[in-house]
Amino acid sequence: MSAQNSATGLRPIAVGPLGPLGPLGSLGGTAQAALGVLSFSFSFPATAWALEGFGPWTVTGLRGVLAALLAGTCLLATGARVPPRSSWPALAAVAVGCAVGFPLLSTLALRLSSTAHSAVVIGLLPLATAAVGALRAGARPPRAFWLAATAGAAVVLAFTVQQSGGAGLTTADLYLFGALLLCAFGYAEGGRLARDLPGWQVIAWGVVAALPVTALTGALALTTEPVHWNWHGLTGLAYLAAVSQFGGFVVWYRGMAAIGVPRASQLQLAQPLLTLCWAVLLLAETLPVAAVPAALGVVGCIVVTQRAGRGKEGAPGRQAGGG
């Protein structure tokens, strides 16, 4: 199957068997991609819940261990073969960016910042991923792409400075921008690797590859961070492990392979706005006045970059990703 890649034009995407989809495999590509976006939109509220019961390092370690156990079970059940050595550097990028870096830095940020604020900043992820994908592929996007990407970054920077009362970037913002950068590299490399492996195996092998780090992190954190057993903490941790770090990627990659990267990425424009809704409904947060306009501004910039990317061969649209 072919899809418009954000950095290399039309290319095949490995679809493979349904893998651990069960009855979800019968859904159409659009429905699966939309389910992936919906799944990822709950990640920040789930992290906020998990932090009610566990420390940030414990959350990062345990969600990685549980996701790796689930992914490893699926790999064994489907008889998946270990990827060739040529795929290991890309899998390492997925592991570092998606299984360790983004979960840790975003969790640290959510200890210091609201879910709504974080959702607006991470709304830049599609732009960052497309830019990284273009640079990695040596593509030359049109000027409109870079202008829109710069405008989107400016909107988020203005929002963060306004939220800090003019004091500049906070520690939470630095964590979020670090998470954004690492995740963009992980998504871009995962998108490149999806040419050769079924998408669900990309994230599955990624979280399995990260298991030594996440297991050590979780073991050490449990001895130093306090644990408060409560339903919010356990529910949030279970969601992060089963959905945010594995299951959501399964339907997202599968849907993206079925309908193509550009159509799937259009659906992902709703993710930051959905997260703002869940911040109000699930966490009873009060949205900053500038949150919705800033999120809409970022969405508008992403739309421009995608249209600009489709205007020239090899220009970026959106790499494989999730949340």
Q: What pLDDT score does 314 carry?
A: 42
Q: What pLDDT score does 303 carry?
A: 77
Q: Which amino acid is at 235?
A: T
Q: Other CB atoms closer than 10 Å to residue 223's CB: what's the count?
A: 7
CA pair distance 318, 145, nearest whole angstrom: 12
Q: What pLDDT score does 261 carry?
A: 58
Which pTM was predicted? 0.80
Size of the chain, expressed as the number of residues it contains:
323
Q: Which amino acid is at 237?
A: L
Would you list the domain boundaries of the chain?
A: 29-311
Tens of pLDDT, residue by residue over 194-242, are: 778 887 898 999 999 999 999 999 999 999 999 999 999 999 999 999 9
For the chain, list residues with pLDDT below 50: 1-13, 15-16, 312-321
